């Protein structure tokens, strides 16, 4: 209980709400039309995301309290009798803590550098690293120093691979033409640019989806393990299969990550309407007709590069399990989602710092 606070849930209910809204936009026509209204539409969707965060945070708060009660940490969680007011007070307090962190994150985004919510998550992950490293060295007192060294090498190699794949992109050349009227005559101007398609467009979202799916069967089965007969035996088998130390668990986790990477990438890409927006702005891909052929070309290229990104995410997902097998180090764990978040936040913050420095250097020309 020493690390428990009113902000113990962090900003993860907001992250869940953001993912749900992103998936609902192409499904619900009203939200899809709203997303096409520019800055006003994005602001409205962001407002809906904040509203959805409140019930999700309350539900997660009750889930945490129920988990603590099942483990004997606390008692008196319920909505009947004298337990009602204390339970509501705890749920409201934890929900308010999450909303407070989201508000701080919005302030950082508006007045600082980088994405405020991502920086808060980054701070929570990095703050736990010294304790994890200390536990690893204490666990090496039994003589497994070589395992610690190999573990460190794997960690550095994983970070380097994440940086490489996060920055990898396929640049599609684009030509723009526009007409200008001068002196009663029409002139055509053309320019060259490119559209960058990232190899890993989904980020760490597929890992979150896959982890949520993998937790669900074991959680449901845990309620029936004490039942006698076939139901209890089947629940025990399911609980054993979906145990975090089972090779089957990690194999399914990696496969689900690959599948969700394709699914999420295609959903997000369809929302962007690149071919339609390119045609509206007078742009075209050399050698490809505008309209539907351009959209099919983008889809073909995206599927090809997403194969590499999805396989990479699948390997990153099972990396903690592989690291434990290779090094036999149990005290340390390489969190796949944590590494992706940390590397992504650092790279994004560096890009924004470089942009700010560039604007400062050219401030005289801008004026």
Q: Give how many domains the chain has, as a whole number.
A: 2
Q: What is the pLDDT of residue 184?
A: 58
CA distance 207 to 30: 29
List % helix, strand, coil for the chain (3-state, nearest 5): 70, 10, 20
Q: And the tokens for 280?
A: 């509206």
Cα→Cα distances 38→2, 22, 74, 299, 341, Å = 46, 16, 48, 24, 28
Indicate if 191 and 46 belong to the same structural domain.
no
- CATH number, domain containing residue 329: 1.10.3370.10
Query: Are 98 and 156 within one domain?
Result: no
- Answer yes or no: is 224 within a domain: no
Buried residues in 186-207 as b, exposed as e (16+ CB within 10 A) = eeeeeeeeebebbbbbbbbbbb
Instruction: Determine which of 102-106, 161-165, 178-182, 327-331 has the lowest per-residue pLDDT on average.
Output: 178-182
What domain range is 356 assigned to? Answer: 143-207+242-366
Note the helical H segments in 242-291.
247-272, 274-280
Do the domain assignments include residue 260?
Answer: yes
Please, which residues bridge with residue 190 across strands? 177
pLDDT tens across 232-278, in order?
788 788 778 777 777 888 888 889 889 888 888 888 887 777 777 77
Residue 233 lies in a domain: no
101 band by pLDDT with thresholds 50, 70 and 90: very high
Give the integer Cα–Cα distance in Å for 96 and 90. 10
Q: Does residue 235 sit within a domain?
A: no
CB 354 within 8 A of CB 114: no
pLDDT band of 1, cuts 50, 70, 90: low
What are 140-166's pLDDT values in tens digits?
A: 555 567 777 777 788 888 888 888 888
Q: Which residues lie below 8 Å from residue 283, measured CB to CB, with a gap of 6+? A: 174, 175, 176, 177, 193
> What global pTM score does this model have?
0.75
What is the structure's pLDDT at 97?
92
- Assess if residue 56 is contained within a domain: yes
- Pick the range with the lowest mean pLDDT from 7-21, 110-124, 137-151, 180-194: 180-194
Q: Is the pLDDT of residue 367 over 60?
A: no
- Quick one: which H or E segment has residue 145? helix 145-167
From 89, 112, 135, the end of a domain falls on 112
């Amino acid at each position: 209980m020493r690390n428990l606070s009113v902000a113990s849930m962090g900003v993860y209910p907001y992250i869940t709400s953001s993912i749900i809204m992103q998936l609902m936009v192409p499904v619900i026509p009203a939200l899809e039309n709203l997303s096409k209204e520019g800055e006003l539409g994005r602001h409205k969707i962001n407002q809906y995301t904040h509203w959805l965060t409140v019930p999700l945070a309350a539900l997660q708060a009750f889930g945490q309290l129920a988990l603590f009660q099942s483990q004997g940490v606390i008692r008196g969680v319920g909505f009947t009798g004298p337990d009602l007011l204390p339970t509501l007070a705890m749920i409201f307090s934890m929900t308010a803590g999450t909303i407070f962190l989201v508000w701080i994150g919005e302030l950082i985004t508006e007045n600082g550098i980088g994405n405020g919510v991502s920086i808060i998550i980054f701070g929570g992950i990095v703050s736990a690293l010294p304790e994890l490293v200390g536990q690893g060295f204490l666990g090496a007192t039994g003589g497994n120093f070589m395992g610690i060294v190999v573990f460190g090498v794997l960690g550095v190699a994983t970070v380097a691979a994440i940086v490489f794949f996060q920055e990898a992109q396929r640049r599609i050349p684009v030509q723009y033409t526009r007409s200008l009227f001068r002196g009663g005559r029409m002139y055509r101007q053309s320019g060259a640019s490119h559209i960058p398609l990232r190899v890993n467009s989904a980020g760490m979202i597929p890992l979150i989806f896959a982890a949520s799916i993998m937790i669900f069967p074991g959680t449901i089965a845990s309620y029936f393990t004490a039942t006698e007969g076939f139901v209890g035996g089947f629940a025990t088998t399911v609980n054993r299969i979906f145990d975090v130390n089972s090779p089957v668990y990690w194999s399914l986790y990696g496969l689900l990550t690959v599948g969700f990477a394709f699914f999420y990438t295609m959903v997000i890409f369809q929302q962007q309407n690149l071919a339609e927006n390119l045609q509206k702005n007078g742009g075209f891909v050399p050698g490809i007709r505008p309209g539907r052929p351009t959209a099919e070309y983008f889809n073909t290229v995206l599927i090809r590069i997403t194969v590499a990104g999805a396989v990479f995410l699948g390997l990153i997902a099972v990396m903690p399990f592989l690291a434990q097998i290779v090094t036999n180090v149990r005290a340390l764990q390489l969190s796949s989602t944590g590494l992706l978040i940390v590397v992504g936040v650092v790279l994004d913050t560096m890009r924004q710092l470089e942009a700010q420095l560039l604007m400062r250097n050219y401030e005289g020309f801008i004026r």
